[in-house]
Structure formats: structure tokens, C-alpha cells
Amino acid sequence: MPFTSSVLSLMSRSFAIILLVMVPQLSRAETGPLLVELNKMEEIDGGGCRAFFLFRNQTGKSFAGFEMSLAILDGDGIIDRLLSVDASPLPVQRTTLKLFEIPETSCSNISEILLHDVTSCQPQNEAQMDCFPILTLGSRATTKLVK
């Protein structure tokens, strides 16, 4: 049975409908959150606290620039200081460990770390972007990490 133009037209429309349904699902599968986890904290000899952060980049983009402004809250919940940290680069589909030191503050006297601002969020070969919507924060330490 030979194909007629109406059968070919029907097949073309069916293929177009399948593409319209599948393409958004494919692009969503490639992108996800940028997970920022405060994994642990440890005292530093001579005073201070070292924070271990894990960055799980599931966004589909590598970040050439990623800088955060963190507010360190003391045991009473009062802002002790602001700390600027550079976590870049953050390669795509990788987990990256970054260590940051909080000088002159004991880990036991930090109740919370507030992600105050993301001062730089630059995907590789792209313009700066707002990363707050794609961030997911978590903490395995007794100190909370919040935005």
C-alpha cells in the first residue's frame, strides 16, 4: 500500500507533537539545582573555625565565578561578621569541596550561617545570572545554613 500525501502529512504532524512534548522534558533533565551543603565544621588551632562546604552542581552549566557573602551569627543569633567567600570554579555535574576559615570565632559559638548574597554567579562563557532561584541549601553540621 503506497503512502499518500495525507499519510505523510499525518506522520509529520505526529512527529511534531512528539517533539513538542519531549523537548521540554529533555531540557529539564539536564538542569537541576546548585546544592550548597555545610558538611562539617571544626576548630582551628589558635582560634577560629573551619567550615567544609560541598557544592553539587546539577545545573547543566559550569560556573567560572561563584562568590557568596555569608553572615555569621553567634550563639545568641546576633550577626558577628560578614564573610566573603569565592567558591569558583564549579564544574558541571560535579561535587566540589571548598574549605573556608572563620577567624577568631569558635565553631561552638556559631548558631547559623546566612547566605546573605551571591555577589558573583557567572556561568562559563555566559553573562552573570541570579543564582538564588537555583540554590538549594542544607547542613549536616549542627550549625544551620539558610538564605
The 10s digit of each residue's pLDDT in 83-109 is 999 999 999 999 999 999 999 999 999
Task: Please tell me whether residues 24 and 38 are part of one structural domain.
Answer: no
Task: Please tell me whether residues 9 and 44 are part of one structural domain.
Answer: no
Task: Please tell me whether residues 21 and 92 are part of one structural domain.
Answer: no
Other CB atoms within 10 Å distance of the CB of residue 100: 19
- Whole-prediction pTM: 0.77
Q: What is the pLDDT of residues 105-138, one digit of tens each?
A: 999 999 999 999 999 999 999 999 999 999 999 9
Cα-flanking dihedrals φ and ψ of residue 144, to 5°? Answer: -80, 145
Task: Please tell me whether residues 96 and 131 are part of one structural domain.
Answer: yes
Task: Please tell me whether residues 55 and 110 are part of one structural domain.
Answer: yes
What residue numbers bound the domain in which 20 lies? 1-30
Task: Please tell me whether residues 16 and 46 are part of one structural domain.
Answer: no
Task: Please tell me whether residues 58 and 97 are part of one structural domain.
Answer: yes
Q: What is the pLDDT of residues 4-41, one digit of tens each?
A: 555 445 545 554 444 444 444 433 445 899 999 999 99
76 Cβ contact list (under 8 Å, min separation 6): 111
- The number of distinct structural domains making up the chain is 2
